[in-house]
Amino acid sequence: MPTPVDIAPARGKLGILLVGLGAVSTTTIAGVLAIRKGLSKPIGSLTQMGTVRLGKRTEGRSPKINEVVPLAPLDDIVFGGWDIFEDDCYSAARTAGVIEPALLEQVRPELEKIRPWPAVFDRHYVKRLDGPNVKKGKNKKDLAEQVVDDIRRFKSDHELDRMVMVWAGSTEIFATEAPAHADTAAFERALEANDPAIPSSMVYAYAAIREGIPYANAAPNLSADIPALTDLAAKTGSPLAGKDLKTGQTLIKTIIAPGLKARLLGVSGWYSTNILGNRDGEVLDDPESFKTKEESKKSVLDYILQPQLYPDLYADLYHLVRINYYPPRGDNKEGWDNIDLVGWLGYPMQLKINFLCRDSILAAPIVLDVALFLDLAKRAGMHGIQEWLSFYFKSPVHARGLYPEHDLFIQLMKLKNTLRYLKGEELITHLGREYYD
């Protein structure tokens, strides 16, 4: 048997720091509070409801994941965070309109106690939003120090043992790597110089990583996935994950596309449109923010279908993505896909998918899972990019020189094999010859 990894126990309280207390964050927080009270089930959460097979199929061992690895219990979680609006989490959740008022009322006292700290925010990076609850500072280094102060005060006030940070803020404008991102020293000089190559999300990422706190990016922004911050994470022992939570339409793509490729069905066109009316939809109505999201959503098919290996099937694929801000829908998102297929002898076929989903309801269990798994990674001595958490993201961060794995089923196998590895269990290859030899 392989040797299990030494994992520190999940003693004490875990603080989950959320950057942005909007629809996704308040749905996550209210959901955890409701589940703790026995008012709801943690549907969609792998850490709470998922199982992992251990050993051979004939052994019948498939315990729950939270019985195999030492995850923080929901009762030990304390939430805190930042937002550009001053509303407490109850008011913010009412504004978001995701959770039914009757359920919100049952967790109202706890939600009202969670008030946002002033946020690091610059409209240059998110043009469609503005709010009064914003930090002031002489430069971005000063703002980062203020975030560190918030983190340390939160830890002290709530007597926390450990913390995790998740960027759940809006999509920032499209950015690529710049000289400011080359190494930690260059990054810190750029912070002091107010370099525009450092958006708000990077200020938070720097503060968390410098404190040795695991950091996840739930948006498609360029954030912690730069050499300066991955190098810093290696020094401070911070696990990193991201980016862009895989919720609605892209979740469906990563389910359907592997099946089409497995059957070697050609795809000549894939048209995707979204109708979304929440704050995220408003932000993405700005072309610069949409480009960031578009890059995240469009890359999925290229990596799954591998047109360079299957030119007859996918080399001429026309992939179009549209996001339409439509306020009447609120958080109820509609994703519509038209897929033009090519079958035997070149005969055309079509597949049409209409996913009427709830954006924050799909995102909330992912935020919880990523936070708990990152805390596990930290206690297991794992730092830097945690590619085994690609399962949760549209644009998974990965080591340089590799291509990202987007196939949802391969991603889930990587995740569960990592859990087996941590516990010293045999990795499962699905070869299956042992049952017949």
Joined together, the tokens standing for residue 75 give: 């009762």
Distance CA 358, CA 402 (A): 33
Residue 156 structure tokens = 């002290």
DSSP string covering 155-224, please?
Answer: HHHTT-SEEEEEE-SPPPPP----GGGSSHHHHHHHHHTT-TTS-HHHHHHHHHHHTT--EEE-SSSS-S
pLDDT at 289: 67
Tokens for 425, please give them.
């269990």
How many residues would you count in the chain? 437
Query: Distance between CA atoms of 171 and 192, rounded to whole angstroms?
Result: 24
Looking at residue 276, what is its pLDDT?
Answer: 82
Looking at residue 248, its pLDDT comes to 87
CB-count exposure of residue 237 (10 Å: 0-12, 13-18, 19+): middle
Identity of the residue numbered 95:
T
Provide the 3-class DSSP secondary structure of residue 201: helix
Rounded-to-10 torsion of CA 277, 250, 171, 181? 180
| 239, containing H or E segment | strand 239-242
Amino acid at 37: K
pLDDT at 7 over 90: yes
Average pLDDT for 211-238: 97
pTM (global) more than 0.85: yes
SS3 40: coil
Q: How far is CA 225 from the centre of its chain?
A: 13
CA distance 75 to 72: 8
* Cis status, amide bond into 293, omega within 30 of 0: no
Higher per-residue confidence, 17 vs 289: 17
Mean per-residue pLDDT over the chain, rounded: 94
Mean of pLDDT values over 354-368:
95
- Region 375-398: mean pLDDT is 96
Work out the pLDDT band at 288, boundaries 50, 70, 90.
low
Q: Is 331 helix (H, G, I), strand (E, B) or coil?
A: coil
Q: What is the mean pLDDT of residues 381-386?
A: 97
User: What pLDDT is attached to residue 297?
Assistant: 64
Spatial distance between the Cα atoms of 420 and 424, rounded to a whole number of angstroms: 6
pLDDT given at position 281: 64
Terminal-residue alpha carbon distance, the chain: 21
pLDDT computed for residue 127 by the predictor: 86
Q: Give the model's pLDDT for residue 433.
A: 86
pLDDT, one tens digit per residue, over 137-184 is: 999 999 999 999 999 999 999 999 999 999 999 889 999 999 999 999
Rounded mean pLDDT, 38-49: 98
Give the CA-trace dihedral at 208, 224, 302, 318, to 10 degrees. Answer: 100
Q: pLDDT (tens digit, 9 = 90+) per residue, 91-104?
A: 999 999 999 999 99
**Res. 123: pLDDT tops 70:** yes
C-alpha distance from residue 420 to each of 63, 375, 377 (Å): 12, 17, 13
CB within 8 A of 382, min separation 6: which ones?
239
- E strands along 309-393, which residues? 318-325, 332-342, 348-358, 384-385
What pLDDT is attached to residue 292? Answer: 64
User: What is the DSSP pairing of strand 215-217 with strand 162-167?
Assistant: parallel
Give CA–CA dist 85/94, Å, rounded: 14
Distance CA 36, CA 32 (A): 6
Q: Using the predicted structure, report yes or no on whether residue 282 has a pLDDT greater than 70.
A: no
Q: What is the DSSP letter of 315?
A: T
Helix and strand totals (H; E) in the chain: 16, 11
| H or E stretch at 252 | helix 249-262
Report the candidate in 72, 31, 65 with the shortest Cα–Cα distance to residue 378: 72
- Residue range 71-89, pLDDT digits in tens: 999 999 999 999 999 999 9
**Residue 288 CB partners (closer than 8 Å, separation 6+):** 127, 173, 174
Under a CB-based contact definition with an 8 Å cutoff, are residues 424 and 3 in contact? yes
Q: What is the 3-state secondary structure (H, E, C) of 126-158?
A: CCCCCCCCECCCCCHHHHHHHHHHHHHHHHHHC
Q: CA–CA distance from 82 to each of 134, 151, 313, 320 (Å)? A: 9, 11, 47, 35
